[in-house]
Structure 1
Amino acid sequence: MSLTHSPETHSKLIARIPTVTGRDLPEWFRAIENGPAFLRCEERSHWLADEHGISHGYASALVREHERTRRARHY
Structure 2
Amino acid sequence: MSHVLSEETHRNLLARIPHRTGRQISDWLRTVEEGPALPFEEKVSWLRHEHDLAYGHAKAIIHEHALRRAARRLL
Does the TM-score normalized on the shorter chain lie above 0.5? yes
1:19 and 1:30 map into 2 onto residues whose CA distance is: 18
Q: CA RMSD in A?
A: 1.1
Listed as ranges, the matches of 1:55-74 within 5 Å are 55-74=54-73
TM-score, with structure 2 as normaliser: 0.89
Which consecutive residues of structure 2, in runs of 5 or more, have no partner in the other structure?
none
TM-score, with structure 1 as normaliser: 0.89
Deviation at 1:58? 0.4
Aligned pairs, number: 73
Identical columns (%): 45
CA contact (8 A) 1:29 1:66 kept: yes
User: Which residue number in structure 1 is paired with residue 29 of structure 2?
Assistant: 29
Which consecutive residues of structure 1, in runs of 5 or more, have no partner in the other structure?
none
- Over 6 Å off, 4+ runs: none
Q: Residue by residue, what CA displacement relative to the aligned partner does 1:5-60 show, whole Å, maximum 9, x if unpaired?
A: 2211111001111111111111101111111111x100000000000001011001
CA contact (8 A) 1:4 1:60 kept: no
Listed as ranges, the matches of 1:1-75 within 5 Å are 2-38=2-38, 40-75=39-74
